[in-house]
């Protein structure tokens, strides 16, 4: 058994569109979206231990170790392990945090998914991709997508996934300097919850500017910096918010176009903004570690 697994990517995601089509009796919202993986994200490092202790060795402001999705994911996997030696399984986990919290990029969910994938391999627990996806759903609705490992058309609360082909392009992403709490967006009375359902074929016929983000109108009302970022980036194309916010993105066919927009932003954007470019990718970088 390997003793460590380093430089494990936890890629960001974008919601190319996000429609709220209804609400379940238990309060969960019914969604339709397309998840897009990016070649930018957090990076995690895992060191196996044989004393049964699971530790996050990186301090993250505002996230206590015990409530971190990474630690919770590791403990969940240990409890679900089919290995007779599972009680001895432990890990020291280091996180190079690059994605903002409350940004709509899936940072915490992606970290949890990478933890499940990496430790399943490191501990040789033997769980399949589908088994890990079921575990991941206990941690959050976006976690199964990252374990699924491909760009996907998602329905339900985000867990019903079908592979979909997305454009090969570059994105400019702006972090507007605010953290948007998901609960505040979904509980707002101005949120519309009755968008007409669409089909995968509808998206495939016009992927670059399809649909909208139903959460955007609420987030821009509550958090003006999000609206400002959309307005600025909208000069260059179809700018919109990802997830429940706060990050804003715009697609470009060529890397040079993305570079030019970033150059403009450095001179004209808000001093509170962080901005970067990322390439669309088709598969999660750790997919090869999983059994179907």
Task: Indicate which residues carry an active-site annotation.
Answer: 13, 142
Task: Using the Cα atoms of residue 166, residue 167, residue 168 and residue 171 in order, give the sign of their dihedral.
Answer: negative
pLDDT digits (tens, 9 = 90+) for 231-279: 999 999 999 999 999 999 999 999 999 999 999 998 877 888 999 999 9
In terms of DSSP bridges, do strands 170-175 and 274-281 run parallel, antiparallel, or are they unpaired? antiparallel
Confidence of residue 121 (pLDDT cuts 50, 70, 90): very high
Question: Quick check: 82 pLDDT over 90?
Answer: no
Structural domain boundaries in the chain? 4-164, 170-281
d(CA 36, CA 115): 20
d(CA 23, CA 178): 27
Q: Partners of 15 in the beta sheet?
A: 35
Task: Confirm or reject CATH 3.30.230.10 for domain 4-164, answering yes or no.
Answer: yes
- What pLDDT sits at residue 161? 97
pLDDT digits (tens, 9 = 90+) for 1-59: 579 999 999 999 999 999 999 999 888 899 999 999 999 999 999 999 999 999 999 99
DSSP 16-82: EEEEEEEE-TTSPEEEEEEEEEEEEEEEEEEEEESSS-EEE-S--TT--GGG-HHHHHHHHHHHH--
What tokens does 91 get?
Answer: 């890990």
Residue of 169, 168, 153, 123 whose CA lies nearest to 289: 123
pTM for the predicted model, two decimal places: 0.96
According to CATH, what is the number of the domain 170-281?
A: 3.30.70.890
What tokens does 279 get?
Answer: 């390439």
pLDDT digits (tens, 9 = 90+) for 161-180: 999 999 999 999 999 999 99
Question: Quick check: 71 pLDDT over 80?
Answer: yes
Task: Using the Cα atoms of residue 211, residue 214, residue 215 and residue 217 in order, give the sign of their dihedral.
Answer: positive
DSSP 214-259: TTHHHHHHH-HHHHHHHHHHTTSS--EE-TTSS-EEEEESSHHHHH
Query: Helix, strand or coil for residue 171?
Result: strand
């Amino acid at each position: 058994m390997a003793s460590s697994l380093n430089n494990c990517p936890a890629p960001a995601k974008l919601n190319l569109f996000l429609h709220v089509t209804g609400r379940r009796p238990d309060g969960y919202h019914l969604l339709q979206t397309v998840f897009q993986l990016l070649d930018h994200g957090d990076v995690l490092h895992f060191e196996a231990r044989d004393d049964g202790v699971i530790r996050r060795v990186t301090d993250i402001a505002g996230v206590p170790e015990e409530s971190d999705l990474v630690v919770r994911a590791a403990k969940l996997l240990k409890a679900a392990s089919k290995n007779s030696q599972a009680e001895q399984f432990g890990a020291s986990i280091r996180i190079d945090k690059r994605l903002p919290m409350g940004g709509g990029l899936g940072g915490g969910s992606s970290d949890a998914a990478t933890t499940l994938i990496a430790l399943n391999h490191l501990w040789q627990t033997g769980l399949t991709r589908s088994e890990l996806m079921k575990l991941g759903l206990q941690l959050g609705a976006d976690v199964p997508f990252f374990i699924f490992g491909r760009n996907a058309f998602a329905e339900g609360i985000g867990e019903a996934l079908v592979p979909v082909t997305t454009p090969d392009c570059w994105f400019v992403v702006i972090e507007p300097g605010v953290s948007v709490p998901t609960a505040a967006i979904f509980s707002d009375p101005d949120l519309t919850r009755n968008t007409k359902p669409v089909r995968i074929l509808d998206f495939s016929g016009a992927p670059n500017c399809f649909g909208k983000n139903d959460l955007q109108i609420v987030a821009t009302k509550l958090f003006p910096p999000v609206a400002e970022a959309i307005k600025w980036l909208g000069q260059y194309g179809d700018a919109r918010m990802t997830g429940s916010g706060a990050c804003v993105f715009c697609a470009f066919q060529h890397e040079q176009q993305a570079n030019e927009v970033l150059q403009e932003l450095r001179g004209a954007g808000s001093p509170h903004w962080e901005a970067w470019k990322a390439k669309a990718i088709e598969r999660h970088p750790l997919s090869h570690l999983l059994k179907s």
